Chain A
Amino acid sequence: MLHNLSIGELSRSLNSGQISSVELTRHFLARIERLNPALNALITLTATQALESAARADARRAAAGERGPLLGIPLIHKDIFCTDGVRTSCGSRMLDNFIAPYDATVVARLKAAGAVMLGKANMDEFAMGSSNETSYYGPVKNPWDTTKVPGGSSGGSAAATAARLAPFATGTDTGGSIRQPAALTGVTGVKPTYGRVSRFGMIAFASSLDQAGVFAHSAEDAAIVLQAMAGFDARDSTSIDIPVPDYPETLNAPLKGLKIGLLREFFDGLEARNAALIHDALKLYTSLGAQTVEVSLPHLPLSVPTYYVVAPAECSSNLSRFDGVRFGYRCEAPKDLLDLYKRSRGEGFGAEVKRRIMTGTYVLSAGYFDAYYLQAQKVRRLITDDFRAAFGQVDLLIGPTTPTPAFAIGAKIDDPVTMYLNDIYTIGANLAGLPGLSLPCGLIDGLPMGLQLIGPHFSEAKLLNAAHLYQQSTDWHKQAPRGFE
């Protein structure tokens, strides 16, 4: 079936004229119509525009002889990316009425490559959450078991990719928001180096941690998409001006001599079945010629508390612009300015967003700034230094993406600290700005688990290479949830 083909296969079919982009787009739109109601993965469908873009892609291919690898390939954007003329809600009531007047750089680049947007994916409100339960539009359900969460915050993108509602989807990762849902839904998710992909037009949660990335069915597909997304953007001062390597080109580079670091801190207290999956993966890598070395990042256990100071601090300021004055939600009949602010924000934001704004406001306030914000910045530096030291010894770090498989909807939503601990293995890479990748590596209780690879800055090519060779020898990434095959 079309929805199980790789991007490369789809592209070849389009090039050979076996199918058209319009047909491909219709196929996925029909799947979305049929399957999305059970998942709530998409919150905006842009069928008309999609068919128009598909027709344009077909014309480009026919008339101009264009052969770009994404030309005519459908995708779904996380609703955190501004899309010109299309509602961009960020999963919040605050932006339920917000039609973005411009395209984010990521959106513009994929559009230029000829990719066809099918719609916008559900997400945790303002990307704050690890289960996709904080969305104003209701929780997303995991296609492997619809009583379970898909992870978050890019839960809609992950679930949609897992359910084969699109060949790929965009996401963002601030503390694990691509890798964790990728793991819990059995897809490949890449969070690039901070600065590799432009943040322009991506609604900010925590500016120093946010990074856009991709969900796909394989590392090979992810490499094609990342190739189109990555690169310097003068409109994002934190974007970094170094050339983008040819990711697909190096997917098959031999791993002989690759040094893989096993993070001691990741294995302390790791559940046995989870540990067994990681060890299976290590065995495979060893058979491919890699060596494993045990390394330690002594400050890594401090990453969760550090993150929950830095990220709320930045979000408390980033979300100040949502004040009911220029766009977004405005309360009914405000009686004065203060009332306008209080009720617009009070009614427009959900509980988790408010919790983080309050936390962030607190850690930045006079008298607490040094003890929290400054201290967290110091620890962040120590964690970054730990990673740097580790990468002096090894090429990649390997470990689990999450402590457990997907949990039940409602199980942790009232216990923020337990919920925050879901991100324990992913947050470190964000604090240090490193690239990370999660790929499916097995099942526990019939639910997918993720293997996480973390590399030094700008090592995406190596991560994709290692993931691809794993996927050449395994078929976890090819397994589809029942009912979505």
Chain B
Amino acid sequence: MMTDWEVVIGLEIHAQLATKSKIFSGSATTYGAPPNVQADLVDLAYPGVLPVLNGEAVRMAVKFGLSIGAEVARRSVFARKNYFYPDLPKGYQISQYELPVVKQGKLAVMLDDGTVKTIGVTRAHLEEDAGKSLHEGLANASGIDLNRAGTPLLEIVSEPDMRSAKEAVAYMKKIHTLVRYLEICDGNMQEGSFRCDANVSVRPRGREKFGTRAEIKNLNSFRFVEKAIHYEVARQVDLLESGGTVLQETRLYDSDKDETRSMRSKEEANDYRYFPDPDLLPVHIDEEFIEAVRATLPELPDEKAARFAQDFSLSTYDAGVLSASRELGAYFESVVAALGAGHAKLAANWVMGELASALNRDNVDIVFSRVSPKYLSDLLLRIVDATISGKIAKEVFEAMWSEGKTADAIIEAKGLKQITDSGAIEGVIDAVMAANPKQLADYRSGKDKLFGFFVGQVMKATEGKANPGQLNELLKAKLGSS
């Protein structure tokens, strides 16, 4: 019998904190500057220099901790993680080890089937990023760019609570949403502002003990996380089913080949010789500071979703989608505000439907949407007041998207205004009935289904502009009277 394998995943997410300067120096953190222009003597680890903690990084870490209901450590300690590498100028990385600033918290994640799963967050700690080694374009040499060295990171460590690649991605997306809501990280994955290491293991379902895990380093897209985990799970299952054993090791995901490769085994792992950094005092955080940070917390995604569901009678799913980012939520709310809460479902359908697909198709961020919330609500008002039908509105929307004009201007220019004049609609109905005597006879002898045929014919004749409600009513009356 085949073993039923259960997958166990834990993630270590590195979120680059959106501070203006580095965590221990005054250098700027802007992405994409020419090599080494954002590295001062502290970043270069010159003899005699000392680190000074950026209080803004601490504030951001506390903000994150409060958002996941975690305990904020009243005392946390920076430690040195010692290893030699050219992009690590001091020969040690300053990180938090035994005493992180954020302790145990948790996060509710909605899965594809609509169920909600709670994922534990073991801890989140502050640390500095390393620089970059550059190997391309240099003959017989490696370059070092220390612009990134000392950039503040919040490392968010989950419990091994995820049971599939999809769950892992859902969790990572949720953290991604959260850090952007909190405005503590720009979430830009291409630039490496948000990335993760995945700890993956498998065990026969029902067994309590975890299998040996492999750590896949530096995954910088949701898609890579999913694919790397899939590959790794398959690799481990194959290995175990063919009688092998999984080694505890660090692996690298190669997205070109879609495979993970061993980087170093446990035996080759560095002894980091952590010890408290004597250049930095322990970080003491008092109640007053915590409350001051708490006062700056925005409405969180779950809170927003609950409010949307409650106030606008939306489904949990719709409310979840519309609160996935602060910007999307704000867009939706502006549209609803203009339309009235009674039309929230209409707004939701349009924001999640036409608007989302246009943004997606043209790869445009909602902040830069070519149809503004005002323009969209103006368009939807024309559906509400029966100037146009929903179907015509889609056509108008496309024109708005490409031409940047208002709904009214397009309706006017294209003559798309709905026909609401009963006399005019009746005239068309009469003409259609006259042109289709057979169908009329069949209908009258009981073939009710032909009602749709007549609707279609009238719509065709009016180029879709007949008001559907009126048409229904008038058509029923006309077809019924002989």
Contacts and interface: CB of A to CB of B under 8 A. Distances in A.
Given A317-B92, A317-B273, A320-B82, A238 B279 contact: yes
Interface in A100-154: 100-102, 104
Contacts of A11: none
A81 B47 CA distance: 9
B114 interface: no
B82 A203 contact: no
Interface stretch (B50-58, B116-124, B167-175): B50-58
Contacts of A100: 46-48
Nearest to A325: B86
A322 B274 CA distance: 19
A147 to B, nearest CB: 33
A124 to B, nearest CB: 16
A237 B45 contact: no
A313 interface: yes
| Best-buried of B48, B52, B278 by chain A (most CB within 10 Å) | B48
A104 B46 CA distance: 12
Interface in B72-114: 80, 82, 84, 86, 89-92
**Which applies to chain A's interface (DSSP): helix, strand, loop or mixed?**
loop
Interface in B122-180: 144
A99 to B, nearest CB: 11
B89 A321 contact: yes
Given A321-B91, A326-B89, A364-B82, A204 B48 contact: yes
Interface string B30-59: 000000000001001111111111000000
Contacts of B92: 317, 320
A101 B89 CA distance: 17
Interface string A305-328: 000000001101100111101111
A361 B274 CA distance: 11
A366 interface: yes
Contacts of A64: none
A235 B41 CA distance: 12
Interface string A331-349: 0000001000100000000
A95 B281 CA distance: 29
A364 B273 CA distance: 5
A459 interface: no
Interface string A201-240: 1111011100000000000000000000000001111100
Interface in B279-310: 279-281
B52 A234 contact: yes
Contact of A373 (B46, B49, B275, B279): B275
B41 A237 contact: no
B47 A323 contact: no
A321 B45 contact: yes
A438 interface: no
B271 interface: yes
A82 interface: yes
Contacts of A191: none
A202 B45 contact: no
A200 B48 contact: yes
B86 A337 contact: yes
B52 A207 contact: no
Interface string B249-275: 000000000000000000000010111
Contacts of B50: 199-200, 235-237
Contacts of B49: 200-201
B273 A202 contact: no
Interface string A348-368: 000000000000010011100
Interface string A281-302: 0000000000000000000000
Contacts of B271: 365-366
Nearest to A364: B273
Contacts of B53: 237
Given A317-B82, A317-B91, A320-B91, A101 B41 contact: yes
Given A207-B279, A234-B52, A317-B80, A82 B90 contact: no
Contacts of B281: 237-238
Given A238-B281, A325-B86, A364-B82, A104 B48 contact: yes
A71 interface: no
A90 B47 CA distance: 10
A317 B44 contact: no
A325 B89 CA distance: 8
Contacts of B280: 237-238
A364 to B, nearest CB: 4
A245 B435 CA distance: 108
B47 A95 contact: yes
A325 B88 CA distance: 10
A102 B41 contact: yes
Given A208-B278, A325-B86, A326-B89, A82 B144 contact: no
A237 B274 CA distance: 20
Contacts of A208: 278
Given A320-B91, A321-B89, A237 B279 contact: yes
A98 B47 contact: yes
A82 B48 contact: yes
B241 to A, nearest CB: 34
A25 interface: no
A236 B46 CA distance: 15
A81 B84 CA distance: 25
A361 B80 CA distance: 13
A82 B48 CA distance: 7
A369 B82 CA distance: 14
Contact of A82 (B47, B275, B278): B47
A88 interface: yes
20 contacts: A81-B48, A82-B47, A88-B47, A101-B46, A102-B41, A202-B48, A208-B278, A237-B281, A316-B273, A317-B80, A317-B275, A320-B82, A323-B84, A325-B144, A326-B46, A361-B273, A364-B273, A364-B274, A364-B275, A365-B273
Given A201-B48, A206-B278, A328-B47, 13 more contacts: A88-B48, A100-B46, A102-B41, A199-B50, A204-B48, A236-B50, A238-B279, A321-B91, A325-B86, A364-B82, A364-B273, A365-B271, A373-B275
The 5 closest A-B pairs by CB, nearest first: A320-B91, A208-B278, A364-B273, A207-B278, A201-B48
